[in-house]
Amino acid sequence: MTAELIDGVAIAGRVRADVAVGVEKLVADTGVTPGLATVLVGENAASQTYVRAKRKACAEVGIQSFGHELPATSTQQEVEALVRDLNADARVHGILVQLPLPDGLDEEAVLAAISIEKDVDGFHPINIGKLGMKGRDPLFVPCTPDGCMRLLEEAGAQFSGANAVVLGRSNIVGLPAAMLLLKRDATLTVCHSRTKDLPTVCRRADILIAAVGWGEMVKGDWVKPGAHVIDVGINNKWLEHPADREFTCAASGEIFTAHRQDESEKGGRKRAGYLDEKSGAAYSREHLPEGQSAEGLVKLFRKYKLVGDVDFEAVKEVAGHITPVPGGVGPMTIAQLLSNTLRGARAAAGK
């Protein structure tokens, strides 16, 4: 058996197309253009990338985006004051505070400050609380778990009475996904670092959602034949690790500095601090081999590929349906965010 691929790119594309049509109709009927405000505190490179992707996606479907960037030194009061201003801004129908926040900021208090009518990320305590209660529906559901459910629906998964296993209990993915499965009458098991005999537990699953951040942890013999497997993980797998090359290492704790190829034409910003995972040392520019350029070293460090929490090649021979990485859950997260923002705008316009 070879599993049928659950194409997150194609499914997300359909969601985005529906959102674009909905935005156009809302503007025509009411004059209201949906608006999403993003709040980025600090200069976390990954967070900056995610925010840019979300703003680009908004533009593609006709949603206005309002970017707000605060320094990492911002106080709790300053961050919450910005959120309150956005709550009062009629142009804004969704507020997304990019996580994680810098150390010293109370994440829970910031999320609680967001109006539940604009909580398009679904992390407000009231929305999360309703998600966990029988017979109650939140205004918004966290985007990644919601995207997982849409993928399962598109793949024809039957929820009622199914054995569902969620690997991971994070507030962002694992726990909300578990609550969504319960609402669909699945029989649920949530696994974590203390779960005993994990392979046996996983083999009972008709639906398996892996969200632990451990590359290729789920092996082929962990999976029930015909199961629906959703892989939320995104991990780097070295194809050629620098420690496997005959490079001279710097002393432990030192770093190298090199220009990134994709930034060399954007002001020549620098990146530092690649740690050798095997020896605990790091490579420095001063320790490059003769004839080896800094650019070449950066290329070497990029000899990896993205993998999920599931050993895709092995599991696809057992499962009935499976998401790839990349191209599975990731595209759905932003698609659901756009859908939530449109829904918030419709509610504000009385539609």
Residue keyed to tokens 């703003």: 55
Mean per-residue pLDDT, 245-250: 44
Residue 235 near residue 191, CB atoms below 8 Å: no
Residue 228 near residue 323, CB atoms below 8 Å: no
Q: Give CA separation, 335 vs 72, 126, 142, 210, in Å.
A: 28, 23, 12, 20
- Give residue 304's pLDDT: 63
- How many other CB atoms are found less than 10 A from the CB of residue 88? 9
- Return the CA Rg of the chain: 22
- Give residue 254's pLDDT: 34
Whole-number Å distance between alpha carbons of 75 and 91: 25
Q: Assign 46 a pLDDT band (cuts: 50, 70, 90).
A: confident
122-131 tens-digit pLDDT = 999 999 999 9
With vertex at residue 181, the alpha carbon angle to CA 178 and CA 187, rounded to the nearest 5 degrees, is 95
Residue 258 near residue 285, CB atoms below 8 Å: yes
- Give residue 294's pLDDT: 44
Residue 337 amino acid letter: L
145-155 tens-digit pLDDT = 999 999 999 99
277-336 tens-digit pLDDT = 433 334 333 344 444 444 444 444 445 678 999 999 999 999 999 999 999 999 999 999
- Active-site residues, by number, are 54, 98, 121
Residue 262 near residue 224, CB atoms below 8 Å: no
253 closest CA partner among 288, 224, 294, 284: 284
198-215 tens-digit pLDDT = 999 999 999 999 999 999
Q: Assign 181 a pLDDT band (cuts: 50, 70, 90).
A: very high
Question: Is the predicted pLDDT of residue 10 greater than 90, yes or no?
Answer: yes
pTM: 0.82
